[in-house]
């Protein structure tokens, strides 16, 4: 048997409800809290949708464990 490394991407989409004076301000506030400050704890997620995992690729693995590219 040949060994393969297979990458599977699991993704989800979070929806946040936030008060702001404009669409741009809402996006900026979420960017600042969730992305730049990594403050997921402070930002309340109002809904999450999971997406079906996707198989991205398979690569043969050498005997030493390295990908055979």
SS (H, E, C) 1-68: CCCEEEEEECCEEEEECCCCCCHHHHHHHHHHHHHHCCCCCCCCEEEEEECCCEEEEEEEECCCCCEC
pLDDT at 38 > cutoff 80: no
More reliable by pLDDT, 41 or 2: 2
Q: What is the pTM of this model?
A: 0.53
Number of domains in the chain: 1
High-pLDDT (> 90) share of the chain, %:
13
Residue 68 resides in a domain: no
pLDDT above 70 as % of the chain: 88
Look at residue 30 and tell me if it is in a domain. yes
Indicate whether 48 belongs to any domain.
yes
Residue 67, domain member (yes or no): no
Residue 25, domain extent: 4-60
Give the confidence band of 67 by pLDDT, cuts at 50, 70, 90.
confident
Is 36 part of a structural domain of the chain?
yes
């Amino acid at each position: 048997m040949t060994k393969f490394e297979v990458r599977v991407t699991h993704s989800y989409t979070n929806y946040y409800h936030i008060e702001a004076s404009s669409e741009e301000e809402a996006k900026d506030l979420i960017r600042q809290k969730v992305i730049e400050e990594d403050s997921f704890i402070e930002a309340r997620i109002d809904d999450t949708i999971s997406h079906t995992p996707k198989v991205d690729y398979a690569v043969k693995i050498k005997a030493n464990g390295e990908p055979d590219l």
